[in-house]
């Protein structure tokens, strides 16, 4: 098995970092590795905002629910889906801007995810740890104001980078038979497999918290999907110019 496959399978989220900085040459190489990701129609619809200012990081950490690693990581970036940059050229080429279609939103958002994951893989190959911060969407308007994001741009998630100061266990994923199907969607037998997986996840949380917390995967995701989740996002995205036509 290749070292790349082993690296990908060993991913963990890191929330405690050392004080060691990331060399500027390495940081730039990581961003270039991100740019090498696939991009639909060559849109390159991603913009990264690197946050160095400690006060700004603290504000974002609070928006994200008090996630202190936003402040303590060597690097913190906000990944944005960006239709403005390409849209600027519609007028130049005497074309009407139609970038507010749902498909364009999907293209830009997928571009962001692919770029970020390339950076993550490159970073972990260099011994760095990472943690995605979806909590910036708790108040995307405030984040957008802090970062002066114009219409046509929205913050998708943040990313902490740094040298790990912890060694957490790898969180087990769903069995391959549950997520890989042949020819058609078929979930026959999945419940039995997931019942066993639920016990594995309970053990993972019990070990991770010293017995202070245990919950199954199925219970966790049932709670997630039975609650309203950031209902402000649709209105915010429309205000940013994403009309979902």
105-116 residue pLDDT tens:
999 999 999 999
Q: Which fold has domain 3-168+228-239?
A: NADH Oxidase (3.40.109)
Is the pLDDT reported for residue 1 higher than 80? Answer: no
Q: State the span(s) of the chain assigned CATH 3.40.109.10.
A: 3-168+228-239
- Using one digit for the tens of pLDDT, what is the confidence trace for 116-150? 999 999 999 999 999 999 999 999 999 999 999 99
Task: Pull the structure tokens for residue 197.
Answer: 């997986």
The strand pair at 153-162 and 129-133 is best described as: antiparallel
| C-alpha to C-alpha distance for 76 and 166, rounded to whole angstroms | 18
CA distance 37 to 34: 6
Cα–Cα dist 238/110, whole Å: 18
* pTM of this structure: 0.95
**Helix, strand or coil, per DSSP, at residue 218:** helix
pLDDT digits (tens, 9 = 90+) for 50-104: 999 999 999 999 999 999 999 999 999 999 999 999 999 998 999 999 888 999 9
Q: Alpha carbon 69 to chain centroid distance?
A: 15
């Amino acid at each position: 098995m290749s070292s790349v496959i082993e690296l990908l399978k060993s991913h963990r989220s890191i929330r405690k970092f050392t004080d060691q900085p990331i060399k500027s040459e390495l940081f730039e190489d990581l961003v270039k590795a991100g740019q090498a990701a696939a991009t639909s129609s060559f849109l390159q619809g991603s913009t990264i905002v690197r946050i160095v200012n400690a006060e700004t990081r603290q504000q974002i950490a609070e928006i994200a629910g008090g996630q202190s690693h936003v402040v303590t990581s060597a690097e913190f970036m906000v990944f944005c889906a960006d239709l403005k940059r390409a849209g600027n050229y519609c007028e130049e080429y005497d074309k009407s801007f139609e970038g507010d279609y749902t498909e364009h939103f999907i293209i830009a958002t997928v571009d962001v995810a692919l770029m970020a994951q390339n950076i993550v893989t490159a970073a972990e190959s260099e011994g760095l740890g990472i943690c995605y911060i979806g909590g910036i969407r708790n108040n995307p308007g405030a984040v957008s104001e802090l970062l002066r994001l114009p219409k046509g741009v929205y913050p998708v998630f943040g990313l902490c980078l740094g040298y790990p100061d912890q060694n957490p266990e790898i969180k087990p994923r769903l069995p391959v038979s549950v997520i890989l199907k042949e020819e058609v969607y078929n979930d026959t037998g999945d419940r039995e497999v997931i019942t066993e997986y639920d016990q594995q996840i309970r053990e993972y949380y019990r070990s991770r918290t010293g017995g202070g917390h245990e919950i199954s995967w199925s219970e966790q995701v049932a709670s997630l999907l039975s609650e309203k989740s950031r209902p402000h996002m649709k209105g915010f995205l429309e205000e940013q110019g994403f009309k979902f036509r």
